[in-house]
Every structure is written in C-alpha cells, then in structure tokens.
A = this chain, B = another copy of it.
Amino acid sequence: MSKFKRAQRIAIISRMLVENPSSVFTLSSFSKKFGAAKSTLSEDVALIADAFEKEGIGRVITKQGVLGGVYYCPHFSVDRAYEEVNNVSRMLNDPRRILPGGFLYWSDILSTPNIVNTLASIIAMEYLNSEADFVLTMETKGIPFAFAVAHLLGVPLLVARRTSKVYEGSSVSINYFSGKGSLEAMSLPKRAAKAGEKALIIDDFISDGGTALGMCTLMKEFNVHIAGMAFMLSEEPRKARHVSGDISLMTLSRSSEAPPYVQPAQWLKERRSKE
C-alpha cells in the first residue's frame, strides 16, 4: 500500500517536475518512491498535466518508449508571453532609466530572478526541440538569463570569457570585432565542448552582432553546430548585422531625436494577432 495519499503524491510529483524542467522521470521511479502501482501514478501524472494545461503555464509531457517517462517544460500561451514581455518593455521605458549618452540602465532587470526566469521560459519554449547540448553565453551581463534558459532546457551553461584563466586549463581563443569596432578576444576551456555537439547561443543584447559572430566562430573551432541564437533585447533597425537566424524578445530603437524606446519584438506581436 502506498504511504502517501493521492493529494500528497500530486504535491510531491508537481514539485519534482517543476524543480527539474526537461528531466525525464520514469513511472517506475515514482512507483518505487511512493510504493504505488504504475497505473495509479499514471493517473496522478495525467491529473497534474491536465491542471497545468488548464492553467496555461508549463506543460507535463509523457514520452513513450524505452527511454520514456514524464517531464515538465515551460509553456506560456501567446497572450501571456506577449503580456510578460510587454511588462518588461514598459519597465525599460521608464525615463529614469535613461543615462547620459542615451544609454539605458537595465542591469537590475538582468539579474532580478522573477523577471529573468519568466523571460527565460519564453525563450526556452522556442528551443525545446532544438536538441541543444549546452547554452553558450559571453560574460558578463547575460549570464543569469543564459543560466535560467540552460536550467529550463536541462543542459549545462558554458561561459566564454575575455581572457583565459589558469584554472580553466588549455583553452581555445578567437579574436572578434566588437560593436565598438575594436578587436577583442574570447576564450573557452578546451574541455568545455565536444565536436558534434549543438550550442544554443543566449545573451542579453545584440546590436550589430559582433559578439554573436565571435561566439559562432568560437563554436566552429570546437566543431560545434549552432542550434539557435536568442537575446533579450535587440537594437533596431538591424543594419548590417553580422549574424542571422537570431531572435529576441524586445527591440530597442534609438535615434538622435527621441529617447530610446523598447517594445516587444515583431514576431511576438504577429503571433499574438494570428491567434
């Protein structure tokens, strides 16, 4: 007989799934843990999946086959995703954020867990089927966001650094032209990635794409494929951007006449109007 009541099992299973997104749990492991029949646990999981579905945030997916089991993955309805991104855009348009030179202060947004995790869920949703083996970012500002996306996809995060460190062992370095037109370096420990893997590039901001191209070049050195590139904020108009295939959640317009203006990206708006 099970030592847990259904309601208790549901509380515990819900927590396990949500705490470990993209990790597959087998019904057998639940059965062992709770001392209940697999058929009973299958009903528990169906109940949870149904509740999450009704609520419209996050999905519980059952995977068939030998490697089968259940796992949780982030999911937002189109409207909810738009609304969340729009909220952050509005925060960024607060005139008190404008710094001398027309720069926008947003370091606080980039490291506030609730905001970062919500935006990471919307990005992770887009790359659930990308089969990325890891997330790659360039230090420093994008690290919390990239870490949150990696967590949701159940993969490790790799952080490229400006200089190689003694405690990282032998490393691969490349040079790239940064947005400011200066030649910079980026390096990653040799043992961090394996040939044939797939990288998802995540960062906070993309302007002309110099750093993003640098990350692509670095991945080429490792014979690693690019599963996608996603950013929180993208500068518009996309003049001669060095990379393509990138998505971002918000766009930033800057001109000499008007203050910087942030809004949800076009693809989010379009998707919303289609539904």
- C-alpha spacing A23/B108, complex, angstroms: 19
Given contacts A20-B114, A157-B113, contact A8 B139 (CB under 8 A): no
Mark each residue of chain A from 54 to 98: 1 if its CB lies under 8 Å from any CB of chain B, else 0.
110010000000000000000000000000000000000000000
A267 beta carbon closer than 8 Å to chain B:
no
Mark each residue of chain A from 121 to 153: 1 if its CB lies under 8 Å from any CB of chain B, else 0.
000000000000000000110011001101100
Most buried by B among A58, A143, A168, A192: A143
Q: Which of B99, B117, B143 contacts A143 (CB 8 A)?
A: B143
Q: For the complex formed, measure the closest distance between the CB of A66 and the CB atoms of chain B, giving whole angstroms.
A: 23
Interface contact B10-A11, CB-CB below 8 Å: yes
Query: Which B residues are in CB contact (< 8 Å) with A225?
Result: none
- CB neighbors of B among A194-217 (8 A): none
- Give me the interface of A with B, judged by CB distance under 8 Å: 4-12, 14-15, 18-20, 23, 44, 47-48, 50-52, 54-55, 58, 99-101, 103-108, 111-114, 116-117, 139-140, 143-144, 147-148, 150-151, 154-159, 161, 166-169, 189, 191-192
Given contacts A12-B55, A14-B14, A147-B143, contact A105 B20 (CB under 8 A): no
Interface contact B4-A112, CB-CB below 8 Å: no
Q: For the complex formed, measure the closest distance between the CB of A2 and the CB atoms of chain B, giving whole angstroms.
A: 12
Q: For the complex formed, measure the closest distance between the CB of A139 and the CB atoms of chain B, giving whole angstroms.
A: 5
Interface contact A156-B111, CB-CB below 8 Å: yes
Residue of B nearest to A167 (CB): B103
If over half of A's interface residues share one DSSP class (helix, strand or loop), that class is named, otherwise mixed; here it is helix
Residue of B nearest to A151 (CB): B113
Query: Which B residues are in CB contact (< 8 Å) with A168?
Result: 99, 105, 107
Interface contact B147-A111, CB-CB below 8 Å: yes
Q: For the complex formed, measure the closest distance between the CB of A215 and the CB atoms of chain B, giving whole angstroms.
A: 15
Q: Which of B15, B50, B169 contacts A99 (CB 8 A)?
A: B169
- C-alpha spacing A112/B111, complex, angstroms: 18
Q: Which of B4, B103, B112, B189 contacts A156 (CB 8 A)?
A: B112
Interface contact A18-B18, CB-CB below 8 Å: yes
Interface contact A108-B192, CB-CB below 8 Å: yes
Interface contact A14-B10, CB-CB below 8 Å: yes
